[in-house]
Structure 1
Amino acid sequence: MTIRGYFSNLDISWTNAAVALAAAVVSFIAIHGAVRLFRRRLDQVDDERAHKPIVDVLRHTLARTSNLAILATSILIGVSMLDLPPPWNQRIGHLWFITLGAQLALYLHHAIAVTARRYFRVHGKGLENDQVTVAHTLMIWALQWSVWTVFLLAMLSNLGINVTTFVASLGIGGVAIALAVQNVLGDLFASLAIATDKPFEVGDAISVPEFFGTIEHVGLKTTRIRALSGEQIVIANAELLRKTVHNFKRQNTRRVQYTLRINPATPHELAAQLPERVSAIISARDKVKLDHVNLTTMDQNYLEYDIVYNLTDANYGLYLQTQQAVLLETMQLLRDLDISTAPRAQELLLQQPAANDAGARRPDGRTTPQARPMH
């Protein structure tokens, strides 16, 4: 059968064909015009609204609208106006699914790239490094491949192909591969978690239960840390995330707490003056906010004062200088007030044995030596 004979069996009148062609042309003009108008409106929004996530994603996504997809959609609209026999109705339905599905997948493909790029730009504080770039690329690649895989499977299922066995085979193969490289995958996903959540960054001083050091490099599998003693510590990303990490670079303030003990024989008047005088010493320092100076313990050995203040700057050098100055001035204050920090004197009582006990014999026949006084 010739092509002309094949289409002649469709029994399409010239009037019906003209209506379908007109509908296709009008649909193409309307869809293309609507997309261009919408894109123009998005480009004309003010700067404040233009930086909103939804506006940014829509503007970059609609820019990827395929003219081929618009043409195919317009043709399908026109073909839908024709009186076609039953086999063709089903084929037109498949074409609708493929056309719209492909355009939707294309939109999602570019939306993922724009969203991920925006996320890393905002949360990365404008800084780019190898670890962030690799994590960005891997995340976009994984999500985009997932979109196209789902579209391909849905298209095959729509065409009547049974994809259940194929999906099951992929699942079994994926489980086998995941079990074989579970440690590597764990470290890889931990690297992505570090890149997105950013519990620490290169240059941060961190502390974990086993060591203290500065982050030098965050890779796909390991993190390298320069310890205070000078050596480089290499630890797996997944293992590092399982630990409690103290990030000192993000410390905004520093709380200082220490105790001061004085002799319990200190007169009441002097002990009462000490909190106010020590508070004045601490409050006179720069970038210091006094919390309290209170007498908290009194027993036979000492009087103990609890002293707490906060530094508004977490710099460790400032903390050392401030604490040293406070302690030196406190020492001078105690000397001026004649307050001793020595504990209560201990008395040792030595008992002289009785005279009739001298020379007493022990069970073994030897005499017991007399106790000598201690000097």
Structure 2
Amino acid sequence: MVSDFLQKTFLDNTVAAYGHALLYIAIGIAIAHLLKRIILRRLKRWAKRTTTSLDDQLVRLIERPILWLLYLGFCYISLQNLTLSKTISQLVTVLGVIFAALLLVQLVGSVAEYSLRIYGFIHRDQPNMRQSLNALIPAVRVFLWAIGIVFVLDNLGFDISAVVTGLGIGGVAIALASQGILQDLFSYFSILLDRPFEIGDFIIVGDMAGTVVQVGIKTTRLKSIDGEQLILANTDLTASRIQNFQRMVQRRVLFTLGVAYETDRAHLENIPTMVREVIEATANVVFDRAHFATFGKFSLDFEVVYLVETNDYLMYRDVQHQINLAIKQRFDQAGIEFAYPTQVIFLNSVGATPLS
């Protein structure tokens, strides 16, 4: 009785064949749950021991796609043991390809997003990193979905070469119509990856200077010293020479002192020592050199160089202010006069009678 029932045929398949298919599906589900119990639970315990929540998010992101991929794979293998009609076989193939593509795109996208988040966590001390990641993640998703759609169409029998050719022609037309926008977009990614500056950096581009407050897809905004907002196209930034003062460890300062030509040799020899003593007595400053450099038009010029141990512009100005006051005081005490533009006129009186 049982053997006769098992040999009965429904839709070109025996009851035994249906039973074998269900058995394979049950075994596959059991294997999937076993893997979930052994591997995923260990991953969850490992993630809980870490200090960040990124590991827990990764496990949650990959858990469902992996399980559903296993279920789908076991079901597809089980159905291969059955004799299916052409229509049903094609329907199963189409549904399997679509669901597999969706799950793979979701899985790869989750891993890619997790990788970017980890990179951002490692460089969390850079304020511009979060904005950069928020711009990259949607682009990665669009790229993965595009690959997934092409994969599905290719496996469903569509002529991918014709589709790609059509997309290529349309892409060229769109590129020509929006050339400026695309240039700024690629420049944005160049700034994003190369990082010549970050938010909060003080930069000089050509004749414009300011602090970076925002890096957008098309433009970058600076706040100038006077307070107004400067908006620069990203293409202009990547094509220009940029001076970034934020990454300067030391500021080298060179200035000149001009004393009167009437200054005697003893004072001239003593001036470098006086300047050195003044600079070395100033905090956050390293003396470099001081020399009698040139004979000017109306002064004897000394060249002085020192280093400020910070990139803070206001501190540099405060230091120079203190040094200037101290040098003026030392020169006044020593009786050394600073030079200023002078002109000497010699008069020759024609026919004057010499004094006897």
What TM-score comes out, normalization by structure 1 length? 0.72
Check the 8 A contact 1:32/1:70 in 2, yes or no.
Answer: no
* 3-state SS in 1 of match to 2:12: helix
- Determine if the alignment matches structure 1 residue 184 to structure 2 residue 181: yes
Letter in 2 for 1:72: L
Give the Å deviation of 1:285. 0.8
Structure 2 gaps of 5+ residues are 1-8
Check the 8 A contact 2:255/2:304 in 1, yes or no.
Answer: yes
Greater mean alpha carbon deviation, residues 236-245 or residues 318-327: 236-245
Partner of 1:323: 320
Larger Rg: 1
Q: Deviations over 1:152-199 (max 9, x none)?
A: 222322233221111110111111112111212333444455556554
Q: Deviations over 1:75-108 (max 9, x none)?
A: 233345x3869989x9788877656544322211
- Determine if the alignment matches structure 1 residue 39 to structure 2 residue 44: no
Structure 1 residues 371 and 87, CA gap change in structure 2 (3 angstroms): farther
* 3-state SS in 2 of match to 1:63: helix
How far apart, CA to CA, are the structure 1 residues paired with 2:332 and 2:147?
Answer: 81
Partner of 1:210: 207
Give the Å deviation of 1:264. 6.2
How far apart, CA to CA, are the structure 2 residues paired with 1:281 and 1:330?
Answer: 7
Partner of 1:111: 111
* 3-state SS in 1 of match to 2:311: coil
Partner of 1:288: 285
Check the 8 A contact 1:279/1:293 in 2, yes or no.
Answer: yes
Structure 1 residues 24 and 200, CA gap change in structure 2 (3 angstroms): same
Check the 8 A contact 1:225/1:234 in 2, yes or no.
Answer: yes
- Determine if the alignment matches structure 1 residue 246 to structure 2 residue 251: no
How far apart, CA to CA, are the structure 2 residues paired with 1:65 and 1:101?
Answer: 11
Check the 8 A contact 1:206/1:246 in 2, yes or no.
Answer: yes
Structure 1 gaps of 5+ residues are 353-369
How far apart, CA to CA, are the structure 2 residues paired with 1:294 and 1:52?
Answer: 60
Check the 8 A contact 2:47/2:56 in 1, yes or no.
Answer: no
Percent identity, please: 27
- Determine if the alignment matches structure 1 residue 72 to structure 2 residue 72: yes
Structure 1 residues 304 and 138, CA gap change in structure 2 (3 angstroms): closer
Residue 171 (structure 1) aligned to one of 161, 168, 172: 168
Structure 1 residues 351 and 128, CA gap change in structure 2 (3 angstroms): closer
Check the 8 A contact 1:57/1:111 in 2, yes or no.
Answer: no
Structure 1 residues 69 and 231, CA gap change in structure 2 (3 angstroms): closer
How far apart, CA to CA, are the structure 2 residues paired with 1:138 and 1:126?
Answer: 15
Q: Deviations over 1:288-320 (max 9, x none)?
A: 122223444569976543322122233322222
Greater mean alpha carbon deviation, residues 223-232 or residues 146-155: 223-232
- Determine if the alignment matches structure 1 residue 257 to structure 2 residue 254: yes
Give the Å deviation of 1:287. 1.3
Check the 8 A contact 2:128/2:199 in 1, yes or no.
Answer: no
Check the 8 A contact 1:295/1:306 in 2, yes or no.
Answer: yes
How far apart, CA to CA, are the structure 2 residues paired with 1:150 and 1:170?
Answer: 13
Structure 1 residues 298 and 152, CA gap change in structure 2 (3 angstroms): same
Letter in 1 for 2:78: G
Letter in 1 for 2:148: F
- Determine if the alignment matches structure 1 residue 7 to structure 2 residue 12: yes
How far apart, CA to CA, are the structure 2 residues paired with 1:303 and 1:279?
Answer: 18
* Alpha-carbon RMSD: 4.3
Partner of 1:335: 332
Greater mean alpha carbon deviation, residues 313-322 or residues 340-349: 340-349
What TM-score comes out, normalization by structure 2 length? 0.75
Partner of 1:158: 155
